[in-house]
């Protein structure tokens, strides 16, 4: 955020405002943590803040402080629209373009002439009134901490805010193991613990909430794993039929792609998940080192995100999607072979 923009926003927030805070469709830990963390902070500042999510998020995030106050646009449309009409500013967190909230919500947001404030760490953001965009950041939650710090309000961070921000940083860094985790990230985490975040409980709430059926689904996913050693690539497929067989619920495939990347010698991991409702194959890409899955997803699968973690989609069936994916790899063989060295 350039200095002039920040001064204008800080001045605007010096008076009580009606604030709406929005996360992306299919919200993850960073989207939920950053929106609720910002809500708690703005509420403490004397504003009235309401979080809107396009749709539901997984059970393992439902415990985050303030989650019971979130409006789901797909289920609580009237309340959501009412909040938008009353709002004096709209914050957009953890996504870079309005299409990331889904078609219906995008159409609604485009009707409003409010100022939009973006806080996000994804590449190639759209243009909004206030922009805090930094692709080097580990997470949007880290950026919210920075924003509170720029507002000279770090002392206002309480246990609820600390818990929200810790959760998002933890989940978006793969428990602090991704390259985006810096010494600054760890210093922020230390401060959040000092301010009340209970790291052991947060890890347990997120990671130790598996159902029996989810573990069976994981087993099925791993049995579908295919390795392409010449390309240092591994991928997983999961069909709609397999999801139904193991009583799939939203969030059940969260992190499964990392098993493909965890294999020794693998630098490119992918999961392809059939989504009957949307009529697409949803894809998650992960990489180690210099190979940019953001560029790969943008070029071939209508997606994008970060250099080492991105999403995409295919409107082909599973068989044709896999065939397309495999056909692309030969041109990247040199890049994949030299992407990451121990």
- pLDDT at res. 2: 67
CA 21, 23, 29, 30 dihedral sign is negative
- pLDDT at res. 219: 98
CB 281 within 8 A of CB 274: yes
CB 189 within 8 A of CB 169: yes
- pLDDT at res. 326: 98
How far is 87 from 74, CA to CA, in rounded Å?
19
| Closest listed residue to residue 174, CA positions, set 324, 28, 11 | 28
- Spell out the domains of the chain, with CATH numbers in brackets: 3-207 (3.90.1640.10), 214-337 (3.10.310.30)
Mean pLDDT by 10 residues, the chain (342 residues): 82 98 97 99 99 95 98 97 97 96 96 93 93 96 98 98 99 92 98 99 95 97 98 98 95 94 97 95 96 96 91 97 98 93 64
- What does DSSP say about strands 115-120 and 130-133: parallel, antiparallel, or unpaired? parallel
């Amino acid at each position: 955020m350039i200095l002039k923009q920040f001064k204008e926003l800080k001045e605007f927030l010096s008076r009580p405002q009606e604030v709406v805070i929005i996360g992306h469709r299919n919200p993850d830990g960073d989207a939920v943590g950053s929106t609720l963390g910002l809500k708690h902070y703005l509420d403490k500042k004397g504003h009235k803040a309401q979080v809107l999510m396009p749709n539901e998020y997984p059970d393992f995030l439902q415990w985050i402080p303030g989650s019971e106050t979130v409006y789901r646009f797909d289920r609580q449309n009237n309340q959501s629209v009412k909040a938008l009409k009353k709002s004096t500013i709209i914050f957009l967190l953890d996504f870079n373009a309005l299409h990331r909230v889904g078609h219906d919500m995008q159409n609604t947001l485009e009707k409003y002439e409010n100022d939009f404030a973006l806080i996000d760490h994804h590449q190639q953001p759209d243009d909004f009134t206030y922009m805090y965009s930094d692709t080097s950041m580990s997470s949007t939650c880290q950026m919210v901490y920075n924003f509170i710090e720029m507002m000279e309000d770090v002392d206002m961070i309480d246990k609820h805010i600390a818990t929200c921000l810790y959760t998002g940083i933890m989940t978006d860094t793969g428990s602090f193991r991704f390259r985006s985790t810096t010494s600054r990230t760890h210093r922020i985490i230390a401060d959040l613990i000092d301010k009340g975040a209970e790291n052991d409980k947060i890890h347990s709430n997120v990671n130790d909430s598996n159902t029996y059926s989810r573990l069976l689904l994981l087993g099925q996913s791993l049995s579908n794993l295919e390795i392409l050693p010449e390309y240092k690539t591994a991928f997983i497929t999961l069909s709609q039929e397999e999801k139904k067989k193991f009583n799939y619920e939203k969030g059940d495939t969260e992190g499964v792609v990392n098993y493909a990347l965890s294999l020794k010698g693998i630098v490119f991991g992918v999961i392809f998940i059939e989504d009957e409702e949307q009529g697409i194959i949803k894809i998650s890409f992960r990489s180690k080192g210099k190979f940019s899955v953001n560029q790969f997803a943008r070029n071939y699968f209508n997606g994008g995100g970060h250099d080492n973690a991105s999403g995409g989609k295919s409107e082909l069936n599973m068989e044709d999607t896999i065939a397309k994916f495999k056909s692309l790899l030969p041109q990247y063989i040199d890049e994949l072979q030299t992407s990451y060295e121990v």
